[in-house]
A and B are shown apart, each in its own frame.
Chain A
Amino acid sequence: MCDCCATEKDIYLPQLATVQKVRLMNDTELYVRFTMDDGQFDFIPGQFVEVSIAGIGEAPITITSSPTQTEYIELVVRRIGNVTKAIHKLRAGDKIGIRGPLGNGTYPVEEAKGQNLVFICGGIGLVPQRSFINYVLDNRDDYGDVTILLGTKCFSQRFFHSELEQWTARDDVHFLETVDEAHDCWNGNVGVVTTLIPKIETELASAKVLICGPPIMYKFVLMALQESEVPKENIYLNLERKMKCGVGKCGHCQINNYYACIDGPVFRYSDLNAAPEAI
């Protein structure tokens, strides 16, 4: 954007969007499908939007749909704060405000071409990763082996069931899943997501490993990857923080010298050497 256009634009002004569909996926996660009223929306997997509910506020939510899905944009929102509680009350046809796409640190869509990919997802960490996963699956020939590890706290919190089934059924996706707590209805793996790492069939040391999950998960996953001698350059972390303004001004999402909103939210692990607050 040129300087004269930049000075005309209001970086805090949301654009109107219309909710097309909502569906509660478990006790706390709501699937939201929307379209921009002016039609324009190009993004890269890993980018997020500020969802605005007038009178309540804004919340940063990473896009879960793939850019290959051009007809609408999808979000998954956990009911946890004021704004997300208001989002959970939305119905098809309602208007929301959207700022974005935001974030300059995205998934390595181009750089990872031809390489093996390992997605490590913890709970709602599946949501941001799903954007890149589906992008890869829609451009399957461009990428090498695809391995997806998913760890969920308990059986009832799983979501995107039909998609998980499809990944399980596909020959060109290696999908491994576990739940933390045993359950009568679950005959799969039990344990935290790191217990799946030894089961990865792809050569880990040369793969691109993409991680997203609750803050505590990163430490243990990185320890396990270090044992498997995965170079830091090949590891990508999605570090979601309190991205209040989304444009690198308000200071809330700062991780040492980085702002999660403009330098991330996806970071290459090797770039975070001087950022002890990241992990």
Chain B
Amino acid sequence: MSIKKISKAELTNFVDRLISTDKVIGVQAKGDRFDFAPLESAKDLRLDHDVTLQPPKKYFLPPIETLLTFEVGGGYKSKYSEKPFILIGVHPYDMIAINQIDKLYTDGYYDNHYMKRRNNATIIACDVVTASENVFASSMNAAVVKKGFDILLTDIGDAYVAEAATEKGEALLGKAKTTDADQDDLKKRQEVQKKNEETLNKHQLKCSPEYLPKLLDKAYNHPVWEEKAKTCFACGSCNQVCPTCYCFNVQDDVNWDLKTGKRQRAWDGCLLDGFTKVAGDHEFRKNRADRFRHRLYRKGKYVPSKIGGEIACVGCGRCVGACLPDIANPVKIYNRLIDDLGIE
């Protein structure tokens, strides 16, 4: 696959041409912050954003999604999203999160609802230009991404280096006026990525991420869970903004005719009370501390064991900013455990 160079002016023209023919979603300013939203004009696209309010996960796993339709007392029919779209401005850590969920939603039981959306997407990722207030992707080996995207853009000052990594990306990039990237361009790209690997690190994890499962093996009964959970509202904000959280609930919705309806899934969060409640009101993680610990164990141990060891926290820092009592920062908790338990 090829690596091209595209001028900033041409990228704007290129995106405008895409908008005229395709559904294009890109990062835009929202007040003094940023979020993904449908693009109406390329001038609204902000590839210099620090972090988006919500991760791009919502385009593959929407907050509410219809899985199937039904007739009361009759049959069920699958409902899929078939519409192709282009997603521009996905940061490396978010791309890594998408790669993880791809694996989780296809291993064992293949989730067609997720994968149809995923296959309908063309992802134009971009290397980070501005570090956000709480990013720690460098600590999680997630500051730079090597796969999953169709095109990766890297701002090298006067232009972008554009790497097409798939046939879909190659075909799309072919529609833009580009030149082949030369050695100098590639060197500049390497410098950007090398810098990001070191500086997207507002919170420094005191161990390599690979060590986290081992650390957690001996931290189950550590007092930190109770201490932090004392001020936890169990609001689920940390779940809601997390690019690697993928739990959901399923609910039926009957139409006004009372004869037909739809079955929907909606995001759920393991921090919320009732998440594990079963018949007879028995709740397996009734204590907030248990739920608080569960999230950190999922990120650092449980999910990694299902995806080949990669840590399921990509260091986007969104939970740090979303948590009102300021207890969600995974780095602070893992570092506290390292301080108390040491590194073997």
Residues on A lying within 8 angstroms of B by beta carbon are 3, 6-14, 16, 52, 54-58, 78, 80-81, 84, 94-95, 97, 214-215, 240-242, 244-245, 247-257, 262, 274, 276-277
Contact = CB atoms under 8 A, between A and B. Distances in A.
A241 B110 contact: no
Interface string B62-84: 00000110111111111000000
Interface in B95-129: 104-105, 108-113, 115
A251 B268 contact: yes
A39 B338 CA distance: 57
Contacts of B298: 254
Contacts of B268: 250-252
15 contacts: A11-B109, A16-B75, A54-B71, A55-B70, A57-B250, A81-B279, A84-B279, A95-B73, A242-B276, A247-B108, A248-B109, A250-B265, A251-B247, A252-B275, A277-B284
Contacts of B105: 249
B254 A13 contact: no
Contacts of B254: 55
Contacts of B112: 7-11
A251 B108 contact: no
A240 B246 CA distance: 22
A81 B274 CA distance: 14
A146 B302 CA distance: 38
B248 A57 contact: no
A250 B247 contact: yes
A244 B74 CA distance: 21
A253 B275 CA distance: 9
A276 B57 CA distance: 32
Interface string B20-54: 00000000000000000000000000000000000
In this complex, the member of A55, A81, A254 whose beta carbon has the largest number of chain B beta carbons within 10 angstroms is: A55
B1 interface: no
A85 B222 CA distance: 42
A57 B252 contact: yes
B74 A95 contact: yes
A242 B274 CA distance: 10
B270 interface: yes
B285 interface: yes
Which 7 pairs between the two chains have the least Cβ-Cβ distance? A251-B247, A247-B109, A54-B70, A80-B279, A6-B110, A10-B78, A55-B254
A54 B72 contact: yes
Contacts of B68: 10, 12-13
A214 B284 CA distance: 12
Contacts of B220: 276
A245 B109 CA distance: 11
A141 B284 CA distance: 40
Contacts of A215: 282, 284
Nearest to A82: B252
Interface string B296-316: 011001100100000000000
A202 B67 CA distance: 50
Nearest to A53: B252
B321 interface: no
A94 B251 contact: no
Contacts of B115: 7
Given A55-B72, A248-B109, A257 B302 contact: yes
B276 A250 contact: no
A81 B305 CA distance: 34
A82 to B, nearest CB: 9
Given A13-B68, A248-B109, A249-B105, A241 B249 contact: no
Contacts of B263: 12, 57
Contacts of A84: 279
In this complex, the member of B115, B248, B254, B290 whose beta carbon has the largest number of chain A beta carbons within 10 angstroms is: B248
Given A13-B68, A245-B250, A252 B276 contact: yes
B278 A240 contact: yes
A81 B278 CA distance: 9
In this complex, the member of A54, A276, A277 whose beta carbon has the largest number of chain B beta carbons within 10 angstroms is: A54
Contacts of B285: 277
B261 interface: yes
